[in-house]
């Protein structure tokens, strides 16, 4: 079973700044099978990044994903109000298709 | 317009059963693997179950294995989750999600299941 650990737990930033979120896996994840989701309170999650670095449809280029093996990063530039939410990474290559515990991005 | 609409949630006593449904609109349901994901109040996302696009394979998380059953009816564009022997820790919002290339492109808005006496 692949366990995903996200850091930090909470990140406090101001609109216009950049955010760097980390996702570390307990064993190697094929980069083809690492995704990032954003969940705004009261809403369902939304796909941002798949295959570690490919943006989903209609996701602006302020969002970028990188990494391989066991270390992955989501970078969000020029933070906008709707970006303050909870972010989850997920590996979808091997059952169980675990999620990380989430990083909460809050307004400073 | 793509939509996944869950239904069937509610309040149920411990040890009882409940069946959730998820109906798909706006995409070719039979081409998609379908998942259930749940979220306990104030907690993170937990993957629950997967059924392949053709129904040939099913996978379950350890916490629900042997109690929950995922199924699909492509003639009705509907996904199901039969939940038996429910426990308090099964209390959560249950989301269905659709995947063509394994990542979750489409999500429903969720249905709340509360297990309480």
Tell me the average confidence (pLDDT) per consecutive run of 10 residues in chain A, 108 residues long: 96 97 94 92 96 96 95 97 96 94 97
Q: What is the pLDDT of residue B78?
A: 98
Distance from CA of B108 to the nearest CA of A (A): 7
Number of CB atoms found within 10 A of residue A33's CB: 19
CA distance A44 to chain B (A): 5
Long-range contacts of B69-72 (CB under 8 A, 24+ apart): B70/B34, B70/B36, B72/B29, B72/B34
* Residues in B touching A44 (Cβ below 8 Å): 95, 107-110
| B44/A95 touch (CB, cutoff 8 Å), yes or no | no
> How confident is the prediction for chain B on average, in pLDDT?
97
């Amino acid at each position: 079973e692949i366990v995903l650990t996200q850091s930090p737990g909470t990140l406090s930033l101001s609109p216009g700044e950049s955010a760097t979120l980390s996702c570390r896996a307990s064993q190697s994840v094929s980069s083809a099978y690492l995704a990032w989701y954003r969940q705004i309170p009261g809403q369902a999650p939304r796909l941002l990044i798949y295959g570690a670095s490919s943006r989903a449809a209609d996701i602006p280029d302020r969002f970028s994903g990188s990494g391989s093996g066991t270390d992955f990063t989501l970078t969000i530039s020029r933070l906008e109000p709707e970006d303050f939410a909870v972010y989850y990474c997920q590996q979808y290559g091997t059952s169980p298709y675990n999620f990380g515990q989430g990083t909460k991005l809050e307004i400073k | 317009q793509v939509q996944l609409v869950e239904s069937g949630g509610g309040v149920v006593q411990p040890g009882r059963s409940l069946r959730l449904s998820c109906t798909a609109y706006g995409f070719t349901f039979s081409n998609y693997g379908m998942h259930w994901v749940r979220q306990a109040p104030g907690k993170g996302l937990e993957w629950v179950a997967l059924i392949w696009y053709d129904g040939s394979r099913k996978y379950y998380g350890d916490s629900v294995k042997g109690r929950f059953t995922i199924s699909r009816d492509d003639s009705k564009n509907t996904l199901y989750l039969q939940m038996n022997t429910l426990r308090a820790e099964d209390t959560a919002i249950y989301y269905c999600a659709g995947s063509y290339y394994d990542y979750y492109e489409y999500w429903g808005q969720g249905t709340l299941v509360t297990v309480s006496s």
